[in-house]
């Protein structure tokens, strides 16, 4: 099993104490977002967790306790963009805080296990292609030697974020402009020793040097754990997504980063004030009428096909 922590909320930044408590206990609960009365009990022992993929804009709150997950292979998807607090309201200063945190994490766990995400990219009168190119170049040069890969994507216009996008004056650029922009980012990445890939993009950017990326990346996971895994494409993601299957442990509407482009948290509060670090659930509690079922979990490892034998 691959554990995703998390596409729905920033667990490393805001809920690391809960996560470490769950690691110690060896299990956690996840409430089904499509059926609020259904809860899955998930075994997260090292015997069945092949790798943990963390998604975050700030892993610093959990970095002091990484020894507690030394029995688990893991890597970080670390989002670091050029936006200010008008777009990412609660993310600390990028130059003063987040770039040093990225470097510190990379030095601690090795650069292959920290993937830089410059996404999503949106264009407004303030955040022009030229602005993004400048910001991307500055961040890339600051992270040279601290990561092997950069991932980009363009913002998806979900209905729930349209009002926020309109308030920023978001607009699209034509295909020729997008091609030139993509090619420029690709060149900057290469100059700084990074492979660049796209996340769930319908448009094929390979002709401009940008590969189709898998964020839950079978190849990277196999490198980290030293053996083959047998995983299927994640059917719960968009058609253009290349991720393999994983178990998502986050909860919607609980992230405090305040990003205006976020599809997973749009002004609601489904538990931020009911967070208890000692609970099996990330937020809230098991209620009368809830049904807790044990989810069948197994390792995806193919032990007889070790990479380095």
**pLDDT value for 235:** 81
**pLDDT value for 155:** 78
**pLDDT value for 5:** 98
Please spell the DSSP secondary structure of the chain, one letter per residue.
-EEEE-SSS-HHHH-HHHHHHHHHHTEEEEE-TT-TTEEEEEE--TTT--EEEEEES--HHHHTTGGGGTTS-EEEEEE--S--TTTBTTPPPIIIIIHHHHHHHHHHH-GGGEEEEEEEE-B-SSS-HHHHHHHHHHHHHHTTTT-SEEEEEE----GGGHHHHHHHT-B---HHHHHHHHHHHHHHHHHTT-EEEESS-SS--GGGT-EE--SS-HHHHHHHHTEEE---B-TTS-TT--PBP-EE---TT---S-BTT-SS-SS--SSGGG--TTSSSSSS---TT-EEEEPP----EEEEEETT-
**pLDDT value for 238:** 74
> For the whole model, what pTM was predicted?
0.93
**pLDDT value for 265:** 76
Pick out the chain residues at pLDDT < 70.
156-161, 266-273, 304-309
- Model pLDDT for residues 225-262, shown as the tens digit of each residue: 999 999 888 887 877 788 999 999 999 999 999 999 88
**pLDDT value for 161:** 66
């Amino acid at each position: 099993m691959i554990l995703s922590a998390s596409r729905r909320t920033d667990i490393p930044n805001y809920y690391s104490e809960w996560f470490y408590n769950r690691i110690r206990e060896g299990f956690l609960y996840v409430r089904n977002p499509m059926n609020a009365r259904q809860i899955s009990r998930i075994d997260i022992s090292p015997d069945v967790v092949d790798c943990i993929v963390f998604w975050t804009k700030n892993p610093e709150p959990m970095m002091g306790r990484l020894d507690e997950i030394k029995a688990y292979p893991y890597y970080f998807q670390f989002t670091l963009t050029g936006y200010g607090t008008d777009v990412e309201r609660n993310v600390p200063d990028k130059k003063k805080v987040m770039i040093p945190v990225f470097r510190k994490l990379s030095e601690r766990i090795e650069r292959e296990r920290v993937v830089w995400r410059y996404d999503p990219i949106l264009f407004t009168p303030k955040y022009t292609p030229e602005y993004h190119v400048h910001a991307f170049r500055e961040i890339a040069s600051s992270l040279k030697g601290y990561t092997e890969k950069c991932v980009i994507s363009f913002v998806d216009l979900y209905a729930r974020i349209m009002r926020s996008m309109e308030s920023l004056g978001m607009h699209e650029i034509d295909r020729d402009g997008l091609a030139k922009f993509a090619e420029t980012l690709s060149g900057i990445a290469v100059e700084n020793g990074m492979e660049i890939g796209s996340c769930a993009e319908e448009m094929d950017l390979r002709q401009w040097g940008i590969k189709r990326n898998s964020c839950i990346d079978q190849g990277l996971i196999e490198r980290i754990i030293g053996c083959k895994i047998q995983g299927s494409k994640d059917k719960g993601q968009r058609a253009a997504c290349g991720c393999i299957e994983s178990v998502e442990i986050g909860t919607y509407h609980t992230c405090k980063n305040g990003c205006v482009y976020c599809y997973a948290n749009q002004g609601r509060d489904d538990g931020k004030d009911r967070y208890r670090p000692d609970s099996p659930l990330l937020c809230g509690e098991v209620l009368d009428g809830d049904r807790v079922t044990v989810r069948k979990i197994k390792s995806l490892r193919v032990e007889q096909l070790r990479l380095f034998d």
